[in-house]
Amino acid sequence: MGFSVALQPTYLLFAFLGCLIGTVVGVLPGVGPLTGTAILIPITFVLDATGSIIMLAAIYYGAMYGGTITSVLINVPGEAASAVTCIEGYPMAKQGRGGAALASAAIGSFVGGTIAVFALVLVALPLTSIALKFGPPEFFGLMLIGLTLVTGLAGRSISLAMISAIFGLLLGLVGMDPVFGAPRFTFGFPDLLDGVGLVPVAMGLFGVGEVLLSLERESPPVIRTPMSSLVLTREDLKTITGPILRGTAIGLGLGFIPGVGALVPTFMSYVIEKKVSKTPEKFGTGMIEGVAGPETANNAYANAALIPLFTLGIPGSAVVAVLMGAFMMHGLFPGPFLFVEHPKLVWAVIASLYIGNLILLILNLPLIPIWVSLLRVPYSVLGPLILGFCILGCYSISSSLFDVGLMLIFGIVGYLMKKVDIPLSPAILTLILGPLMDKALRQSLELSGGEFSIFFTRPISLGLLAVAVLILITTILGSFSRIRGGDSVV
């Protein structure tokens, strides 16, 4: 059923456009999948829900691959998860083997992404059948786990991540009270009765903020890559087979765990490849397995990270949280009920993930010279174009200048947060999860007559709360160990 929908010409076009736009987003330094997905949400609003989600998902995993191109050719990761690729990819480019690095990354991304989508099909229904037994207390436990996973987006400082998370929670409380229907923190602005919109916040923090920050940077030189260098030798194919298989296993395994982040599987894959190599001393000089393994893990993780979202309604990363917000804007709530209430949509989206991975493989290799030419556009030209697109996109949603003003305000806030190294991802995650958690908490207390014991007398709810506590304890212990090791987390 999913393929019968996803293979319709219209939806194939949306998947193709999403992959194409996503790759461009990943190629442009300083944009990345999170910023790109956030600022491109408005262009999908004219589509139906199925087409919108297919296109946004394609933008997401297309951008994950696009970041590889900048890592290899200009030593600048298009997004954080591609940072590891710079270590081996850029030296390969300087040796005239940039094409081989990009080809190995494309093949690995296809294999890892396809296997991860197959895993999604296998586990979706079993997980969903369990989650259908959930009531408000259980959903509160799930949302609490999602909030504790903010620590996975912390970067170098947990305290700064908590500041960002609390900021997002406060924004999430603005609007109408979910139980009494009274305005909260609207300060007399009628435009805030529906809450602070995800699009103005996301486009402001990531789009406008990144434009302001990128205008301070200089554009690095680009290494030219001839088409002839894209051909992999038989020795190259033999060398990358093991890293691709190991990278798939790492990305898939960690993708099941919400909040891990794409950096963890890529770094883990690189470390493992270095350890199993017969010549570990050559790593850092342009080893192709150091590109193939992490890039495979990156895309396997990107696709596997959708498993908690589809089955449990938990966004495991900031980009997936933005995708979750897009679902909600169409009146859809990811989780077990999505499979029951909208099976045609959800299986069409899953089928489109297969198709999208194949489109990426076919699309990216021949078009690499075009992506290289995009890298030569100076940011003094690109920045204002992105800013103009943000303003038009934000205004097109509800024809509201108030939303445009909010976006510009949050753009300044995002710029300042980046300058002082406060991570933005926790704010987006809590902005989306906070209202859901608030609603589940209030509904649970209404059911129990105000007794908090309802969370501890239901086995599934108690188990979820225990997982949340375990995550917090693990994080705290990890913080103390880093402090003892001389690396401050404050």
Which pLDDT score is estimated for 375?
60
Q: What's the pLDDT at 302?
A: 80
234's tokens: 């038989």
Q: Is the pLDDT of residue 30 over 60?
A: no
pLDDT at residue number 363: 78
pLDDT band at 228 (very low <50, low <70, confident <90, very high): low
How many Cα neighbours within 13 Å face the side chain of 461? 17
Mean local confidence (pLDDT), 168-197? 84
Mean pLDDT confidence for 118-129: 76
Question: How would you class 9 by CB atoms within 10 Å of its CB: exposed for 0-12, middle for 13-18, buried for 19 or more?
Answer: exposed
Q: Which of residues 197 and 166 earns the better pLDDT score?
A: 166
Read off the pLDDT of each residue in 39-60 and give the average, rounded to a whole number.
Answer: 82
Which range, of 38-52, 265-279, 342-356, 474-488, averages the lowest pLDDT?
A: 474-488
Burial class, 57, CB count within 10 angstroms (exposed 0-12 / middle 13-18 / buried 19+)? buried
3-state secondary structure of 186: coil
pLDDT of residue 409: 92
The region that residue 69 occupies, defined by phi over 0 for left and psi between -120 and 50 for alpha, beta otherwise, is alpha
Q: Is 138 helix (H, G, I), strand (E, B) or coil?
A: helix
Could you tell me which residue, 238 or 486, shows the higher pLDDT? 238
- The predicted-structure confidence for 464-489, as pLDDT tens digits, reads as follows 899 888 877 877 776 666 555 554 44
Helix (H) or strand (E) holding 167: helix 158-172
Summarised one tens digit per residue, pLDDT across range 361-417 is: 887 777 777 766 666 667 677 678 778 877 876 776 667 888 889 989 998 998 999
Average of per-residue pLDDT across 71-77: 69
DSSP letter string, 82-102: GHHHHHHHHHHHHTT-HHHHH
pLDDT > 90 fraction of the chain, expressed in percent and rounded = 3
Q: 184 versus 307: which is more confidently predicted?
A: 184
Query: Above 60 in pLDDT, residue 229?
Result: no
Q: Which two tokens stand for residue 56?
A: 């946004």
pLDDT at 421 over 80: yes
- Rounded Cα gap, residues 216 and 247, in angstroms: 36
Is the pLDDT confidence value at 418 over 70? yes
Q: Tell me the C-alpha to C-alpha distance, in Å, between residue 454 and each of 56, 143, 145, 193, 438.
A: 38, 16, 17, 31, 16
pLDDT mean over 6-19: 90
Top-confidence residue, 278 or 27: 278
Q: What value does the mean pLDDT take over residues 259-279?
A: 77
How confident is the model over 175-190, as a mean pLDDT? 83
Is residue 431's pLDDT more than 70?
Answer: yes
**Does the pLDDT at position 250 exceed 80?**
yes
Q: How confident is the model at residue 175 (pLDDT cuts 50, 70, 90)?
A: confident
Between these two residues, 244 and 220, which has the higher pLDDT value? 244
Predicted TM-score (pTM) of the model is: 0.66
- Average pLDDT of the chain, as a whole number: 79
pLDDT value of position 155 = 53
* Maximum separation of any 2 CA atoms in the chain, in Å: 71
pLDDT of 14 over the 80 cut: yes
DSSP state letters, 23-39: HHHHHSTTTHHHHHHHH
pLDDT at 223 over 60: no
47-51, 137-141, 152-156, 339-343: range with lowest mean pLDDT: 152-156
Per the model's pLDDT, the better-predicted residue between 432 and 345 turns out to be 345
pLDDT at 244: 92
Contact (Cβ atoms closer than 8 angstroms) between residue 39 and residue 393: yes
Region 137-145 average pLDDT? 82
Q: CB of 91 within 8 A of CB of 285?
A: yes
CA angle (216 as vertex; 215, 219 as ends), nearest 5: 75
Beta bridge partners of residue 175, listed in sequence order: 184
pLDDT band at 154 (very low <50, low <70, confident <90, very high): low
pLDDT for the residue numbered 261: 61
Of 86-100, 139-153, 157-171, 317-331, the range with the lowest mean pLDDT is 139-153
How far, CA to CA in Å, does 239 sit from each of 82, 85, 104, 300? 20, 17, 10, 19
**Residues 346/310, Cβ–Cβ less than 8 Å:** yes
